[in-house]
Amino acid sequence: MADKVLIVEDEKELAEILGEYLSVEGYKVSLAFDGEKGIEEIDDFKPDLVLLDIMLPKVDGMTICKKIRETSDIPIIMLSAKNGEMDKVICLGIGADDYVTKPFSPLELVARVKAHLRRFDKMPRTLYDKGGLQIGQLTFYKESYVARIKEKEIDFTTKEFEVLYFFAVHHNQVFSKEQIYENVWGLNEYGDISSVAVYIKRIREKLREYDLDYIKTVWGAGYKLSIME
């Protein structure tokens, strides 16, 4: 079955061009030209990935991103005419997986879509691979991208899971932001090093909901996962 991509973009011509490129690549595409319609399509179309403009009529993209993250960890790529660092940090901070500044090449965006969908594991969240890596109160199931505390599953996005799993595999080792980026994102993947700090912040916030303070900052050196229990 073809992956489904929802494009929420008020520039109709741009949305249609992107839809054509993605359709040629074999994706099933739905278009929404305002935020309200975008929210409807999320429920009706049930996309595997969302391309989401920030500045939308009726409901803005950031609000939609937050709404998606309440129930789903599907990849979200934000589209924006703004190229400020703060806008990108805010979008990543509320749960977006990527941030693309206009104007952009449709071919580049298609490549990003492919990269995010390759990473996104569609296995049912109730199916856990056997064994699992246990560090402190956390247990990781790499094949199904699941992290659990005792019997409670933590709602990590795929990239958040990859960052935390990398730390778990290299427990108590210190890594710089550059090293984390190279090992988790890879040199051939889209993104930038500034994303590392944003993802670590998001992971810390989710762990602290369970009173876990596992990610430590080593000033001047980087970060590490340290279990002191």
Tell me which of 93 and 20 has the higher pLDDT: 20
Task: Please say if the pLDDT value at position 14 is more than 80.
Answer: yes
Q: What's the Cα-to-Cα distance from 73 to each of 33, 95, 121, 174, 210, rounded to whole Å?
A: 23, 9, 10, 28, 19
pLDDT in tens, 171-211: 888 999 988 988 888 765 566 788 888 999 999 999 999 99
| Res 195: pLDDT | 85
| Least confident among 81-85, 99-103, 158-162 | 81-85
| Res 127: pLDDT | 37
H-run or E-run covering 182 = helix 177-184
| Res 187: pLDDT | 61
pTM (two decimals): 0.64
Tell me which of 145 and 26 has the higher pLDDT: 26
Q: Residues of CATH 3.40.50.2300 domain(s) within the chain?
A: 4-119
Edge-to-edge strand ranges of the sheet holding 28-32 = 28-32, 4-8, 49-53, 76-80, 98-101
| Res 10: pLDDT | 95
| Res 131: pLDDT | 60
**How confident is residue 123, by pLDDT bands cut at 50, 70 and 90?**
very low
Q: What percent of the chain is predicted at pLDDT more than 70?
A: 91
Q: Residues of CATH 1.10.10.10 domain(s) within the chain?
A: 133-225
- Domain 133-225 in CATH 1.20.1250.20? The answer is no
Instruction: In the chain, count H helices and then E strands.
Output: 8, 11
Architecture in CATH of 4-119: 3-Layer(aba) Sandwich (3.40)
What mean pLDDT, rounded, does the chain reach?
Answer: 86
- Strand runs labelled E in the chain: 4-8, 28-32, 49-53, 76-80, 98-101, 133-135, 138-141, 146-149, 152-153, 215-218, 222-225
Task: Please say if the pLDDT value at position 129 is more than 80.
Answer: no
Task: Please say if the pLDDT value at position 75 is more than 80.
Answer: yes
| Res 8: pLDDT | 97
| Res 20: pLDDT | 95
pLDDT in tens, 27-68: 999 999 999 999 999 989 999 999 999 999 999 999 999 989
| Res 141: pLDDT | 85
Q: What are phi and psi of 39, to 5 degrees?
A: -65, -40
